[in-house]
Amino acid sequence: MSLLHYFEALEASPIGVFVKDQAATFAIIEAVHLMALALLGAAVLSADLRLLNVLLRDVPSNTVTDQAHRWFKVALIVLLITGFFMLAGVATKCYHNPFYWAKMIALGTGIVFVFAIRAPLLRKDHAQIHPVTLKLMALASMAIWFVVASSGRWIGFSG
Protein backbone atom coordinates (compact mmCIF):
# COMPACT_ATOMS: atom_id res chain seq x y z
CA MET A 1 0.00 0.00 0.00
CA SER A 2 1.37 3.42 -0.89
CA LEU A 3 1.56 6.25 1.60
CA LEU A 4 -1.40 7.98 -0.07
CA HIS A 5 -3.59 4.95 0.69
CA TYR A 6 -2.87 5.31 4.39
CA PHE A 7 -3.95 8.94 4.23
CA GLU A 8 -7.11 7.99 2.34
CA ALA A 9 -7.83 5.22 4.84
CA LEU A 10 -7.38 7.65 7.73
CA GLU A 11 -9.82 10.12 6.19
CA ALA A 12 -12.38 7.35 5.59
CA SER A 13 -11.94 5.95 9.12
CA PRO A 14 -14.46 6.67 11.90
CA ILE A 15 -12.06 9.35 13.25
CA GLY A 16 -11.93 11.10 9.87
CA VAL A 17 -15.71 10.92 9.52
CA PHE A 18 -16.21 12.20 13.08
CA VAL A 19 -13.98 15.23 12.43
CA LYS A 20 -15.53 16.02 9.04
CA ASP A 21 -19.15 15.35 9.88
CA GLN A 22 -19.74 18.74 11.53
CA ALA A 23 -17.79 21.87 10.64
CA ALA A 24 -17.83 22.84 14.32
CA THR A 25 -15.93 19.69 15.34
CA PHE A 26 -12.94 20.64 13.20
CA ALA A 27 -13.08 24.27 14.35
CA ILE A 28 -13.16 23.32 18.05
CA ILE A 29 -10.22 20.93 17.60
CA GLU A 30 -8.36 23.75 15.79
CA ALA A 31 -9.02 26.11 18.71
CA VAL A 32 -7.70 23.56 21.23
CA HIS A 33 -4.66 23.09 18.97
CA LEU A 34 -4.08 26.87 19.14
CA MET A 35 -4.40 26.96 22.93
CA ALA A 36 -1.82 24.18 23.17
CA LEU A 37 0.37 26.20 20.80
CA ALA A 38 0.20 29.08 23.30
CA LEU A 39 1.24 26.66 26.08
CA LEU A 40 4.10 25.41 23.89
CA GLY A 41 5.11 29.05 23.41
CA ALA A 42 5.02 29.51 27.19
CA ALA A 43 7.37 26.56 27.72
CA VAL A 44 9.73 27.23 24.81
CA LEU A 45 10.00 31.01 25.19
CA SER A 46 10.29 31.11 28.97
CA ALA A 47 13.19 28.64 28.82
CA ASP A 48 14.91 29.99 25.70
CA LEU A 49 14.62 33.65 26.64
CA ARG A 50 16.00 32.75 30.08
CA LEU A 51 18.98 31.04 28.43
CA LEU A 52 19.49 34.17 26.33
CA ASN A 53 19.41 36.26 29.53
CA VAL A 54 16.40 38.22 28.31
CA LEU A 55 13.87 37.05 30.90
CA LEU A 56 13.87 36.05 34.57
CA ARG A 57 17.57 36.77 34.97
CA ASP A 58 17.24 36.60 38.75
CA VAL A 59 15.85 33.06 38.68
CA PRO A 60 18.35 30.17 38.22
CA SER A 61 18.19 28.98 34.61
CA ASN A 62 18.13 25.32 35.67
CA THR A 63 14.92 26.00 37.62
CA VAL A 64 13.27 27.71 34.66
CA THR A 65 14.21 25.12 32.03
CA ASP A 66 13.40 22.08 34.22
CA GLN A 67 9.89 23.29 34.92
CA ALA A 68 9.33 24.53 31.38
CA HIS A 69 10.18 21.09 30.02
CA ARG A 70 7.33 19.51 31.98
CA TRP A 71 4.77 21.87 30.45
CA PHE A 72 6.41 21.47 27.05
CA LYS A 73 5.58 17.78 27.18
CA VAL A 74 1.95 18.52 28.11
CA ALA A 75 1.65 21.01 25.23
CA LEU A 76 3.28 18.63 22.75
CA ILE A 77 0.96 15.75 23.67
CA VAL A 78 -2.15 17.95 23.23
CA LEU A 79 -0.79 19.32 19.94
CA LEU A 80 -0.04 15.83 18.60
CA ILE A 81 -3.47 14.47 19.55
CA THR A 82 -5.44 17.45 18.18
CA GLY A 83 -3.12 17.58 15.16
CA PHE A 84 -3.81 13.93 14.41
CA PHE A 85 -7.57 14.54 14.57
CA MET A 86 -7.26 17.55 12.27
CA LEU A 87 -5.18 15.51 9.84
CA ALA A 88 -7.82 12.75 9.88
CA GLY A 89 -10.43 15.24 8.67
CA VAL A 90 -8.39 16.49 5.70
CA ALA A 91 -5.81 13.74 5.19
CA THR A 92 -5.79 13.50 1.39
CA LYS A 93 -5.66 17.28 1.09
CA CYS A 94 -2.65 17.31 3.43
CA TYR A 95 -0.94 14.58 1.45
CA HIS A 96 -0.86 16.89 -1.58
CA ASN A 97 0.06 19.99 0.45
CA PRO A 98 3.78 20.91 0.54
CA PHE A 99 3.31 22.93 3.75
CA TYR A 100 2.00 19.84 5.52
CA TRP A 101 5.21 17.96 4.69
CA ALA A 102 7.36 20.99 5.57
CA LYS A 103 5.64 21.08 8.93
CA MET A 104 6.08 17.35 9.55
CA ILE A 105 9.79 17.58 8.75
CA ALA A 106 10.16 20.61 11.06
CA LEU A 107 8.12 18.88 13.77
CA GLY A 108 10.21 15.71 13.54
CA THR A 109 13.36 17.80 13.73
CA GLY A 110 11.96 19.67 16.73
CA ILE A 111 11.04 16.51 18.64
CA VAL A 112 14.46 14.91 18.02
CA PHE A 113 16.19 18.19 18.91
CA VAL A 114 14.30 18.54 22.20
CA PHE A 115 14.50 14.98 23.47
CA ALA A 116 17.88 13.90 22.07
CA ILE A 117 19.90 17.11 22.41
CA ARG A 118 18.25 19.90 24.35
CA ALA A 119 16.70 18.16 27.36
CA PRO A 120 19.73 15.92 28.15
CA LEU A 121 22.04 18.92 27.95
CA LEU A 122 19.83 21.23 30.02
CA ARG A 123 19.50 18.62 32.79
CA LYS A 124 23.17 19.31 33.60
CA ASP A 125 24.28 22.24 35.71
CA HIS A 126 24.13 25.20 33.31
CA ALA A 127 27.17 26.77 34.95
CA GLN A 128 29.22 23.85 33.55
CA ILE A 129 28.02 24.44 29.97
CA HIS A 130 29.64 27.02 27.71
CA PRO A 131 27.34 30.10 27.58
CA VAL A 132 27.57 30.26 23.78
CA THR A 133 26.35 26.65 23.54
CA LEU A 134 23.33 27.51 25.69
CA LYS A 135 22.54 30.63 23.69
CA LEU A 136 22.88 28.94 20.30
CA MET A 137 20.64 26.14 21.49
CA ALA A 138 18.01 28.63 22.62
CA LEU A 139 18.10 30.37 19.22
CA ALA A 140 17.89 27.05 17.38
CA SER A 141 14.95 25.98 19.53
CA MET A 142 12.99 29.20 18.89
CA ALA A 143 13.74 29.00 15.15
CA ILE A 144 12.54 25.39 14.91
CA TRP A 145 9.24 26.00 16.70
CA PHE A 146 8.64 29.18 14.70
CA VAL A 147 8.99 27.15 11.48
CA VAL A 148 6.70 24.42 12.85
CA ALA A 149 4.01 26.94 13.83
CA SER A 150 4.19 29.06 10.69
CA SER A 151 4.31 26.17 8.22
CA GLY A 152 1.36 24.73 10.16
CA ARG A 153 -0.61 27.93 9.65
CA TRP A 154 0.20 27.88 5.94
CA ILE A 155 -1.33 24.42 5.47
CA GLY A 156 -4.66 26.20 5.71
CA PHE A 157 -3.79 28.95 3.24
CA SER A 158 -2.62 26.68 0.47
CA GLY A 159 -5.30 23.97 0.71
Interface residues with other proteins (CB under 8 A)?
A: 23-24, 27-28, 30-31, 34-35, 37-42, 44-46, 49, 54-59, 63-64, 67, 71, 145-146, 149-150, 153-154, 157
Q: b/e for 96-129, b at 16 or more Cβ within 10 A? A: ebebbebbbebbeebeebbeeebeeebeeebeee
Q: Compute the least distance from the CB of residue 2 to other proteins, in Å.
A: 31
DSSP secondary structure letters along 32-44: HHHHHHHHHHHHH
Nearer to other proteins, 9 or 54 (CB): 54
Q: Compute the least distance from the CB of residue 46 to other proteins, in Å.
A: 5
Residue 33: how many CB atoms within 10 A of its CB?
Answer: 18
Q: Compute the least distance from the CB of residue 150 to other proteins, in Å.
A: 5
Nearer to other proteins, 7 or 122 (CB): 122
Q: Compute the least distance from the CB of residue 156 to other proteins, in Å.
A: 9
Nearer to other proteins, 7 or 75 (CB): 75
Please tell me the distance from the alpha carbon of residue 114 to that of residue 144, in angstroms, as a whole number.
Answer: 10
Nearer to other proteins, 12 or 42 (CB): 42
